[in-house]
Chains A and B, each alone.
Chain A
Amino acid sequence: MSIVIGDTPRTAPPPPEPETPRRSYLNETSGFWSWALTVDHKRIGILYLVSITFFFLVGGIAAGLVRANLLTPNGAILTEDQYNKAFTAHGVVMLFLFLIPSIPAVFGNFLVPLMIGAKDLAFPKLNLASWYVYMIGAAFMVWGLLSGGIDTGWTLYPPYSSRFSHSSVAPGVFGVFITGFSSIMTGLNIMVTVHKMRAPGMTWGRLPLFIWAMYATSFIQLLGTPVVAITLLLLLVERLAGVGIFDPSIGGDPVLYQHLFWFYSHPAVYIMIVPGMGVVSEVLTCFSRKNIFGYKAVAWSSVGIAVVGFLVWAHHMFVAGISYYSALLFSFLTMLVAVPSAIKVFNWVATLYRGSITFQAPMMFTLAFLVLFTVGGVTGMFLATMGTDIHLHDTYFVVAHFHFVMVGGMVLAYLAGIHFWWPKMTGRMYSDFWSKTSATVIFVGFFFTFVPQFVLGYHGMPRRYPNYPEEFQVYNVLSTAGASILGVGYLMPAVYLTLSLFFGPKASANPWSATGLEWQVPSPPTVFNFEYLPITVCGPYEYAIGVDQMGRGLPEPPGAGDDNPAAKVGPTGPIGARPKETEVVG
């Protein structure tokens, strides 16, 4: 059936605040086994949250060692061998145990069913299995790190990793191989859920952009991860058997490993960043009180990134002896993949334009994301250009570039997500002051850490070297100082978010006055999410007419102070907004 609402906006008054439930997914059952054997997507999300926070700390400590060692030109605290192991540990842990699972496994698990109006993901047991697989893989990696460390760099290139390295490559590679399956399981689950579990009225055109981003991410996880799995398996065989297909002594080609490795590992950076873009689309609209500018463009650019991202891998190999013509082609395709990212940035900026912006912590992280991601993306163009890449290849310029995207982009988006959905996940509000302070400190610390690295790289300091000429010291000291500030910035949320669990005021169901379905259930949600079948009647960001996705009015937005006229006019949209034709599919 379909109802078309006429000229007058018929928005219902804001729904009465549902009472904070006595029973939620957090307290419905308790005890160790209720968590260890849970199949509730929300609890699994929390399990992931705790695990990846731990590994973020581990990877962060390794990063601290690297930065501290670079304080002096000849290595301040580590031997050269230890230095190799420290940066490898940093890379392996941060990439495989933090960045890749971060948003898909935490927010993807927690939010996808809530956002599309489902009771759970399509395969709850598979979901739990994915967490165990992740932990088993992580255990192998930790074993590798503790039993002597890995000194190959996270890319594990043979023949060094297969023949010559005397470090614990085998358990590390096996661990990465295993965690890959957890990534596939999560991706598969989310993809099937989005296809099959959407609530009535939740058409593809009404999906929140976070869901589109998660869908594109899952697509990459499904198509890319198996390739790196087989590649690592072949590497493992070569390492253990002493003979393998990348072994030049029997006619094998190590460059083939690089092709296969980057066929996954380049798309993998989109596994890391695209979910972050999804988070940004949610937060940005909410705190600008505006509909997203160019919904379709933002949605399809996620898919565009996922597709084109598979065609650019050899730009990591411009100096690895690939042919001039293939390098030319990959250089062109790499520039092409910047287009969908740029489309997103322009649409976000257009969304901000004339919005009623308030600066809560999630918004501050998101704005920081916008700035840092844009810098990271534009410097990526320097590296996509073949000529400049030959100068900049394997220098600190590359390090700074991908940290701008991965840390400035992804980690900040992750923090934005944490701050945005923390009230929903835990039912508590955190400290306004400290969260804003933390966002500022992280932003400042980040700039100090990585801007000097651009200069270092431009002047030719290679990555992965423990030593450098004395004239580079000032930049390295600056960078290390920035990293200390960054470290403090990261510790702050760990403290105030934990404190909020015990002392934070109770959060309402919709503290940010956001439109998504996840805000229409109590905070924290009940075990089966929805007590009624949520029927979606409109798009995900109807801030202009001030209705949520079920067509009900929004509560007053936070921070809507004296200077915000929109807050006083009732429905939060600008006066004169045209009522939207609203279709109800029931």
Chain B
Amino acid sequence: MSASTHGHGTVLKHHFDNLEQQHSAERLGMWFFLVTEVLFFSGMFVAYTVYRNWYPGEFAFASSHLIWWIAAINTGLLITSSLTMTLAIRSAQLGDKAGLIRRLLLTFALGGGFMGFKALEYTTDYHERFVPGEVFRTEYARPLAELTADDARRKYEGRPVLTAQEVKDYQFKGGQEHWSQDLATRNYGKTPGAEGTVSPERVQLFLMFYYIMTGIHGVHIIVGLGCILWLVCEAWRGAIPREAYSKVEVISLYWHLVDMIWLFLMPLLYLIGTRGGH
């Protein structure tokens, strides 16, 4: 024990007896931290479960208007990044500095790609005004107003008002498929809460979950990217010798957890609606 202690004086911190103790403490610390992370997200998952049980129709509707293909690409990116992260541990164990740096940078690039697509997704959502609050209400009022105006004109000209089927197939002037038009055609002329209606308020509730959950997950990705960059710097200056590989391992634990949380978020947010010809 003492021989190895003196051998790795720079890696071993003064308050540990030996490297084995130090590494197992670091690993255990990260595992405990991951427990807190799971509980941190669990509050949101619990709330999501409650509301989805209450409002399944609205959640399915809102989910079907999210951009599923970005989520699919992002899932691929994150899973691949977990692989490269694990390979980085292997490089660290072998003392392969160049390989370690290469694989860490690859992980960083994949994570960065995730955030890039995320930014694209948020921007698109924002331009579509698919955001809870005042913006949502204003956007929703537009197709409703168009329908109301059309009906008023028909009444004025003595024509029959829009039938339910006509409302469903209504051709809006914008032409392009949009969530607000979808929502308006479902609700127009019906009493709130009737069969087939979708409450615009509760759609906003889903959107709150969408933004908060993916937002907090994104913050975790950014923190993870920062940690990976730090590892790259450490590896660069030679501070990750073979016996200190647990530094990489500990960060990888965190990275995998963030990855795993995404694997729960992805289906819960993107895949619960019915797609294709709303």
Contact = CB atoms under 8 A, between A and B. Distances in A.
Nearest to B29: A192
A197 B204 CA distance: 50
A180 B238 CA distance: 36
Given A196-B21, A250-B204, A188 B36 contact: yes
Interface stretch (A237-245, A376-384, A402-410, A466-474): A237-245
Nearest to B20: A196
B61 to A, nearest CB: 13
Nearest to B133: A243
Interface in B194-249: 199, 201-202, 204-205, 208-209, 212, 216
B35 A234 contact: no
Contacts of A193: 25
A244 to B, nearest CB: 6
A174 to B, nearest CB: 15
A96 to B, nearest CB: 18
Interface string A547-571: 0000000000000000000000000
Contact of A256 (B37, B41, B47, B209): B47
A312 interface: no
Given A226-B39, A226-B43, A188 B32 contact: yes
A253 interface: yes
B37 A226 contact: yes
Interface of B is mostly: helix
Given A196-B25, A256-B47, A245 B36 contact: no
B36 A251 contact: no
Nearest to B203: A250
B42 interface: yes
A167 to B, nearest CB: 23
A301 interface: no
Contacts of B44: 230, 234
B41 A230 contact: yes
B127 interface: no
Nearest to B42: A227
Interface in A119-156: 119-124, 126
A476 interface: no
Given A197-B21, A230-B43, A253-B50, A192 B28 contact: yes
B185 to A, nearest CB: 21
Interface in A249-278: 249-253, 256, 260
B201 A196 contact: no
A260 B47 contact: yes
A244 B208 contact: yes
Contacts of A122: 15, 25, 29
Nearest to B55: A251
A361 to B, nearest CB: 33
Interface in A297-333: none
A260 B43 contact: yes
A191 interface: yes
Contacts of B209: 245
B47 A245 contact: yes
Contacts of A119: 14-15
Nearest to B32: A188
| Centre residue among B41, B47, B202, B212 by max chain A CB count within 10 A | B47
Contacts, number: 109
Nearest to B199: A251
Nearest to A252: B205
B37 A123 contact: no
A268 B46 CA distance: 20
A231 B40 CA distance: 9
A110 to B, nearest CB: 15
B145 to A, nearest CB: 21
A197 B134 CA distance: 55
B39 A260 contact: no
A121 B55 CA distance: 48
Contacts of B58: 251
Interface in B13-60: 14-16, 21, 24-25, 28-29, 32-33, 35-37, 39-44, 46-47, 50-51, 54-55, 58
Contact of A230 (B24, B40, B208): B40
Interface string A215-233: 0000000111111011101
A195 interface: yes
A118 B13 CA distance: 13
B132 interface: yes
A127 B226 CA distance: 21
A184 interface: yes
B241 to A, nearest CB: 20
Interface string A158-201: 00000000000000000000000000100011011101110000
A229 B40 CA distance: 7
Given A223-B35, A230-B40, A251-B55, A241 B133 contact: yes
Contacts of A243: 132-133, 204, 208
Contacts of B46: 260
A237 B212 contact: yes
A249 B202 CA distance: 9
A184 B54 CA distance: 33
Which 10 A-B pairs have CB atoms at the shortest separation, nearest pair first? A226-B40, A230-B43, A120-B15, A250-B201, A119-B15, A226-B39, A196-B25, A251-B202, A226-B36, A122-B25
14 contacts: A122-B29, A123-B29, A188-B36, A197-B15, A197-B21, A234-B43, A245-B47, A250-B202, A250-B208, A251-B54, A251-B58, A252-B51, A260-B43, A260-B47
Interface of B: 14-16, 21, 24-25, 28-29, 32-33, 35-37, 39-44, 46-47, 50-51, 54-55, 58, 132-134, 199, 201-202, 204-205, 208-209, 212, 216
Interface of A: 118-124, 126, 184, 188-189, 191-193, 195-197, 222-227, 229-231, 233-234, 237, 241-245, 249-253, 256, 260, 528
